[in-house]
């Protein structure tokens, strides 16, 4: 996807990582993009899933968990609180880390690896739909729409959550 050095415009040698600028010697690292996600649980052992509503985004109409990409230098917990506030309009309380996962995310023809930190959380306020999520539904383990989840990693997150 990148052909030229971001420092000087020279050609990048992409034969091995890190990519090396043939003109100035700049080392161009391709790193996984950091993301956070929330498995939000309630007192009945159900988890909150959200239906993706942005038409030009990946997995439109599929079920997802709240979360998203971190900003440059953003703390993961602060980022998750920001994302859940933006996406479902509610504050959360983080209980623990569920796990750390690597996945691929394709958007507008470009595929990036993601480094996903997933937390188990509870809500501190009633959630609501947004521009990003058209529906919010509490699912028990037996009701999860496994074939209609937005990304393969969501399946892994939920399997790990319900097995612990």
pLDDT number for residue 107 = 81
Domain map (residue ranges) of the chain: 1-30, 31-163
What CATH number was assigned to the domain covering residues 31-163? 3.90.79.10
pTM over 0.75: yes
pLDDT recorded at residue 145: 98
What is the gyration radius of the CA atoms in the chain, in angstroms? 18
**pLDDT per residue of the chain (164 residues) written in tens, 0 to 9:** 788 999 999 999 999 999 999 999 999 988 999 999 999 999 999 999 999 999 888 999 999 999 999 999 999 999 999 999 999 999 999 999 999 999 988 888 888 899 999 999 999 999 999 999 999 999 999 999 999 999 999 999 999 999 98
Q: What is the pLDDT of residue 111?
A: 85
Q: Provide the b/e sequence for 43-77 (b: ≥16 CB within 10 Å).
A: eeebbbbbbbeeeeeebeebbbbbbbebeeeeebe
């Amino acid at each position: 996807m990148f052909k030229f050095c971001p420092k000087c415009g020279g050609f990048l040698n992409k034969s091995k990582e890190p990519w090396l600028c043939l003109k100035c010697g700049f080392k161009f690292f391709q790193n996984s993009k950091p993301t956070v996600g929330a498995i939000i649980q309630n007192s009945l052992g159900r988890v909150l899933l959200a239906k993706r509503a942005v038409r030009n985004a990946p997995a439109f109409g599929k079920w997802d968990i709240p979360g998203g990409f971190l900003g440059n230098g953003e703390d993961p917990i602060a980022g998750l609180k920001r994302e859940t506030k933006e996406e479902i309009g509610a504050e959360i309380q983080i209980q623990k880390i569920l796990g750390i996962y690597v996945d691929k995310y394709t958007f507008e023809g470009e595929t990036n690896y993601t480094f996903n930190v997933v937390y188990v959380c509870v809500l501190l306020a009633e959630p609501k739909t947004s521009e990003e999520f058209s529906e919010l539904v509490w699912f028990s383990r037996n009701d999860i729409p496994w074939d209609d989840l937005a990304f393969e990693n969501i399946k892994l997150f939920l399997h790990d959550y319900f097995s612990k």
